[in-house]
Amino acid sequence: MSLSPALAASLRRGVPVRWKIFAFLFAFGFIAYLQQRSITVAGYQMMPQLGLTQMQLGWLESATLLGYTALQFPGGVLGQRLGARWMFVIIGLIAFAATLATPLAPLLLSGGALFAVLLGAQLLLGAAQGPIFPVSAGVFETWFPPERWPLVQGLQSMGLGLGNAATPFLVAWLMSAFSWHQALTWPTLPALALIIWWGLYARDTPAQHPAVGATELAELGEHRDAQIDRRISWRRVLQLLRDRDVLLLTGSYLCMNYVFYLLANWSFLYLVQERHFTVLEGGALSATPPLAAALGAGIGGKLASDFGVRFGIRNGLRLIPLLSLPVAGLLLFAAVHAANPYAAVAALALCFFAVEVNEGPYWAAIMHVGRGDSMAASGLLNTGGNLGGLILTPTVAYLSGHQQWTAAFLLGTLFAMVSAAAWLAVDPTRGLRTA
């Protein structure tokens, strides 16, 4: 059987450069979440060995989130000015150094000085990783047509979910086989090779890349000349800060991310402390919700892309969150009231799936609102999202430390419902008319 001429030509060209660029961003997201989440699992050994309390572990997580949240919007603006190619090199090297500082610091310090350095390292790690996803949004805006934005955003979020899924079991296994020091050090070493490779290969736009031919440019159609505004003005910044849809999306994403961080950061300790699984069992089972989340992100991105074409941008993007977020809230309620611990794991996994199907709709919507300035606009969105984590981390650390896990999860039910309601007033097409 012979191949069609179009398929044969496609195979001869190989993988389009835009999808190779996407693969780098996927990998950056995977490694970022591996670096961020490792300390929550390693904390099980760090607390007794370093004399840390569970509340102090919560403050280390808060330091990461504080740096991460603070650099979302400034990082997006800086990314627009520097360009994605060099921005990823800079922040990648800083994050790599900050990650290695945590296992190395106890070799030289102890007590209050050690805790201060650990706080500083986590703050720097968060600050370096803050711009990753806002800058990625700008890359997607220039390298992919608008109908593909929910898909690529959802697929990149799969990298986060896979990083979350790999972290508990990988770090728990390394801790059991070696120590928490190696568990934090070894998984982050591939990041250095990725940074160097990106710096050599990437370009900011398809037109700048020597491997992009006329055929691939033609596939972008009218979008082939899309540009990120590298001179982003203060007037545009103020416009984004007071835009109705930016504020609605940011507030809704804040509420949704309370649930996201609850499941991403605390599932391992919940399963070990409240459901009484062993460390290795908890490490393996706590990988289940992130795997479900990764699957949900990819499926949600594909569906949102299809719905956007079929029903229009506004209805196509909001259909999924209006349906899935209330379901996620009900699943949290079911998880904490499940008599069987394995049923609780299943409910948490389904809940994380229901949350993460919304990544494509949220990020595509903010890209439509902030066209040309999607790095800055996405930075505002993710500032709100990570404020949800900042609210969550000390709250859950306090409640879990007082054996009040149920209260922490039921708060997530409330936040999921509020997050869904905000989408009723969101209209991303307003950004198309006013940008």
Query: Distances from the Cα of 186 to the Cαs of 24, 103, 204, in angstroms?
Result: 20, 11, 31
Nearest C-alpha neighbor of 419 from the set 231, 253, 196: 253
pLDDT of residue 4: 42
Q: Are 265 and 42 in contact (CB under 8 A)?
A: no
How many CB atoms lie under 10 A from the CB of residue 5?
8
Helix axes 111-129, 17-50, angle to 10 degrees: 170
202 φ/ψ angles, rounded to the nearest 5 degrees: -75, 155
- Say which DSSP state 271 is in: I
What is the 3-class SS of 53-114, one letter each residue? CHHHHHHHHHHHHHHHHHCHHHHHHHHHHHCHHHHHHHHHHHHHHHHHHHHHHHHCCCHHHH
pLDDT of residue 10: 43
Longest dimension (CA), the chain: 71
The rounded radius of gyration (Å) of the Cα atoms in the chain is 21
Q: Cα–Cα distances in Å, from 20 out to 17, 144, 336?
A: 5, 12, 42
The Cβ of residue 109 has, within 10 Å, a number of other Cβ atoms equal to 15
First and final CA of the chain: distance in angstroms?
A: 50
Q: Tell me how far the alpha carbon of residue 312 is from its chain's centroid.
A: 26
- Measure the CA–CA gap between 153 and 164, rounded to whole angstroms: 17
* Per-residue model confidence (pLDDT) at position 398: 77
Report pLDDT digits (tens) over 180-200: 888 888 888 889 999 999 999
Which parts of the chain register pLDDT below 50? Answer: 1-12, 432-435
Sign of the alpha-carbon dihedral angle for 313, 316, 320, 323: positive
Return the DSSP state at 231: T
pLDDT for res 431: 63
Helix 359-369 × helix 149-177 angle, to 10°: 130
The model's pLDDT over 206-252, given as tens digits with 9 standing for 90+, comes to 988 999 888 888 887 776 666 677 777 778 888 888 899 999 999 99
CATH superfamily, region 15-203+231-434: MFS general substrate transporter like domains (1.20.1250.20)
The DSSP call for residue 272 is: I
pLDDT number for residue 400: 66
Tokens of 21: 């660029």
> Quick one: pLDDT at residue 12?
47
The answer to whether the beta carbons of residues 393 and 62 sit under 8 Å apart is: yes
- Give the tokens for residue 30: 């995977």
Q: What is the pLDDT of residue 127?
A: 95
CA 325 to chain centre: 17
pLDDT at 2: 44
Q: What is the pLDDT at residue 245?
A: 92
Single-letter residue type at 28: F
Query: Would you state the pLDDT for residue 340?
Result: 84
pLDDT of the residue at 9: 44
> What does the alpha-carbon distance between residue 427 and residue 314 come to, in Å, rounded to a whole number?
5
DSSP 8-state symbol, 405: H
Q: Which helix (DSSP H) or strand (DSSP E) does residue 163 occupy?
A: helix 149-177
| DSSP class of 15 | S
Closest CA to 54 of 398, 406, 405, 404: 398
